[in-house]
Structures are given as C-alpha cells and as structure tokens.
Amino acid sequence: MWKPFSALPNYLGGKRRIIPEIFGEIAKIHSSRTWPDLTLIDAFMGGGAVSLYAKAQGFKVLANDLAWRCYLVGKGIIENSRQKLTDLDLGLLFVERDGYERFVETHYVPHTFSLSQAQFLDRALANLREAELEETHEALLYTALIRYVLMVRIAGQMTNRAWSTNMAAGKFDHITEGQLRSGYAKTYWEPAPVKMRRIQRYINDAIFAGNAAIFQDDALTWMPEHQADIVYLDPPYFGSSSYEANYYPLDCILAGKMLPRYQHSPFNRRETAWHSLIEMFMAVEHIPVWVFSFADNPGGFSQAQLCDLISQFDREARVVPLRHRWSIATEVDHYEAGTKELLIVCT
C-alpha cells in the first residue's frame, strides 16, 4: 500500500486498495503526462484516498464532503502542503488538566473504548478546544485524534459494542480468529503515547506539496458551482451500511455533545436512492469525464439499469468490474451473495 495512505482514517468503504484501477482508467482517457494540467473533483471525499493520491499525481484537486470529520481530515492532510505534526503538538494533547468535560468516559465506556482510551480522548479534546490555533494546525490535530479513534476500533467500526466490551472485561475467548489476524487485538492495549507517536509518523509522511482545496457542502449543490476535467463520484451505495449511523459516535465525540440523531443519506434509502443518482448526474453534466464507483449489489441497482440511466445524459458508459468486495461496509447477505465493486467510466 502507498505509504501516505497510512495517515488516513480507516473509513468504511475506503478506496485505498482500488486506487490503481481508478487511476488506470483515468490514464486511458488522459495520459498521466497531462495530469498536472487537469482538475479533478472528488465530490464525496470520505476518507480522502482518491484526493490524496490525485494531489500526489499533480492534479489540481477540489474535494468535498458534508461530514465535519471528513472535512477535518481533508484540511489537515490533503489541503495542507507544508505543516507537520511536531512533538510540541503531541505534547499539547497530553497536558494534564482538571475540571474538563468527561464526555467520552461518560457515554462510551466500556462498549466503545476502554477507560484509559476515553480518559486520553477527553483530556486531548479539552486541550485542543482551548488552544488558539489557526485552521490547518487545528485540523491536523483533530485528524490525529480521528486516526486514533479509528485505530482502536476494529476495522474502523464504531457500532460494534461486543469487541470493546469483551476486551475491557478480559473475555479473550470471545475474540474471533479474524479479529486476531487483523492486528487490532495485538495493539489494543498499547498506551496512547505509543499510538500517537506512530500516528505522527503516518501523518507527516502524507504532507507534501500539491494543489488541493477542501469544501464542506452538499455535493448536489456544490458540484454545479465548480469546473473540472474529471469528476470522481463515490456516493453512499444503496443497500450498504449507513455512514451516518456508523460514525454517529465519532461525530458526537468531536462535537463534545450528543448530537440530534442522524438522518440516513438519501442515497441509502430505497425510496430516494434512484432519484438521488439522477440528481447527481444532473449536477455534473458540465464535466467531461465521470468516474463512478458503485456496488454490484444484490437488492440494489443492476449494471444495465445504471448504464441506461447514464446513457440518458448522452454519455457512453464503460463498466469495469473489480475483483474486490466490501466485507465490512456491505450487509452480510449481500456479501455472501457476491457483492463486488463496479467502476463505471463515462465519457
């Protein structure tokens, strides 16, 4: 795996493993020699793998996500071309203090974090909120804490309560062979300073010069306002797990309070998913090349349906089935039925 990807949070549905296929298809339309002259829009940035790689390849990158957690990662790593995490920055997160809000400890122990993990997060977030930092510096530190949160959660899942509860109670016989192989069990008890030092190295390896701008907006209203040569479209997949549901605890932790219950993305809901795809394609009619990721998902939309819809926008669609399927983000019955990733290139 490309080294800078280690800086990015382990988000569900992340595209790190299929980046070669994505940019290989782009290269069939625009030679890689021309990439520094092109603008690429990443409209549903998520974990940021596509944007970070595009920046490294010389593209001008415009990336967007409605979620604040994604925006923070984008500002801290992808838009940032020079500022790195220093030892002083790490020290700020560990400053001892009294009288701070114990939000994580109160709401998320033991089913999400161990007591020591929660105490570190509460103290670190209190120190960060009190510090007067410019936006990039602040986003960089928030990114480090987001990376920590998802490092101690198995496979980046925030809603699997059994994992942390069993680990905290010492019920190691309940830990599965797959969880042991993943490495989470091996590093679960590492103290926060050890993890944060590793995260510092990961993040600093991902800070390099480039041209990227990050936005936090609704993709369907944001995309028509921006010109580009290529747009990468990775909306939530119909029939897949909800990002809003999985990351609700993380969003509350970053906010320091219980937020209103999440609303599922219209791309996830059966009654609105098809119309959302139509709106999405309407929003990018002005962009010459579309690269569209979606799941070949039993219970979802077929390749024929998707290609027929794309043809209504006077586009020729080429479907590239990838030898990859999501074992975490996709519902179990869909996974067992052979769900896999589709890349649809539209010109």
pLDDT tens digits along 267-305: 999 899 999 999 999 999 999 999 999 988 767 899 999
Write b or e for each residue in 243-264: b if 16 or more Cβ atoms lie within 10 A of its Cβ, otherwise e: bbebbbbbebbbeeeeeeeeee
- Are 237 and 131 part of one and the same domain? no
- For 92-122, the pLDDT digits (tens) are 999 999 999 999 999 999 999 999 999 999 9
- Are 133 and 198 part of one and the same domain? yes
Percent of the chain with pLDDT over 70: 95
- Give the other-Cβ count within 10 Å of 195's Cβ: 18
Task: Give the pLDDT mean for 200-212.
Answer: 98
Domain boundary among 206, 231, 251: 206
Task: Give the pLDDT mean for 243-261.
Answer: 95
**CATH code of 21's domain:** 3.40.50.150
Query: Do the domain assignments include residue 113?
Result: yes
Q: Which residues partner with 230 through β-bridges?
A: 40, 289
Residue 235 pLDDT level (bands cut at 50, 70, 90): very high
- Are 335 and 279 part of one and the same domain? yes
Query: Do the domain assignments include residue 254?
Result: no
Residue 280 is predicted with a pLDDT of 98
- Are 60 and 90 part of one and the same domain? no
pLDDT tops 70 at residue 335? no
- The number of distinct structural domains making up the chain is 2
- Are 167 and 94 part of one and the same domain? yes
Query: Do the domain assignments include residue 197?
Result: yes
**Parent domain of 149:** 83-206
List the one residue out of 143, 168, 144, 164 whose CA is nearest residue 74.
143
Q: How open is the CA angle 180-326-62, to the nearest 5 degrees?
A: 115
Read off the pTM. Answer: 0.95
The CA distance from 291 to 42, in Å, is 10
Q: Find the distance separating the first CA and the last CA of the chain, reported in whole Å.
A: 29
Q: In three state form, how does the secondary structure of 150-217 look?
A: HHHCHHHCCCCHHHHHHHHCCCHHHCCHHHHHHCHHHHCCCCHHHHHHHHHHHHHHCCCCCEEEEECC
Query: Do the domain assignments include residue 103?
Result: yes
- Number of helices and strands (H, E) in the chain? 17, 7
- Are 274 and 345 part of one and the same domain? yes
Query: Do the domain assignments include residue 253?
Result: no
Task: Give the pLDDT mean for 314-329.
Answer: 79
The CA distance from 125 to 322, in Å, is 40
240 or 97, higher pLDDT: 97
DSSP-derived letter for residue 330 is B
Query: Do the domain assignments include residue 73?
Result: no
Q: Hey, what are 347's tokens?
A: 């010109």
- Are 33 and 162 part of one and the same domain? no
Residue 145 is predicted with a pLDDT of 98
191: exposed, middle or buried (C-beta count within 10 Å: 0-12, 13-18, 19+)?
exposed
- Are 100 and 57 part of one and the same domain? no
The CA distance from 66 to 303, in Å, is 27
Strand arrangement, sheet containing 317-321: 211-215, 60-64, 39-42, 230-233, 289-296, 340-346, 317-321
Domain boundary among 206, 228, 252: 206
297 or 205, higher pLDDT: 205
Residue 339 pLDDT level (bands cut at 50, 70, 90): low
pLDDT tops 50 at residue 228? yes
- For 144-188, the pLDDT digits (tens) are 999 999 999 987 889 888 888 888 788 888 777 777 776 777 788
DSSP H or E stretch at residue 62: strand 60-64
Residue 291 is predicted with a pLDDT of 98
Residue with tokens 């809603």: 159
- For 60-100, the pLDDT digits (tens) are 999 999 999 999 999 999 999 999 999 999 999 999 999 99
Query: Do the domain assignments include residue 75?
Result: no
185: exposed, middle or buried (C-beta count within 10 Å: 0-12, 13-18, 19+)?
middle
Task: Give the pLDDT mean for 248-257.
Answer: 97
- Give the other-Cβ count within 10 Å of 155's Cβ: 16
Residue 324 is predicted with a pLDDT of 73
- Rounded to the nearest integer, the mean pLDDT of the chain is 92
The CA distance from 295 to 326, in Å, is 9
Query: Do the domain assignments include residue 345?
Result: yes
Q: What type of residue is 214? A: I
DSSP-derived letter for residue 77 is I
**Distant-in-sequence, close-in-space partners of 178: CB < 8 Å, separation ≥ 6:** none
Domain boundary among 206, 226, 256: 206
- Are 34 and 95 part of one and the same domain? no
- Are 110 and 29 part of one and the same domain? no
The CA distance from 221 to 147, in Å, is 29
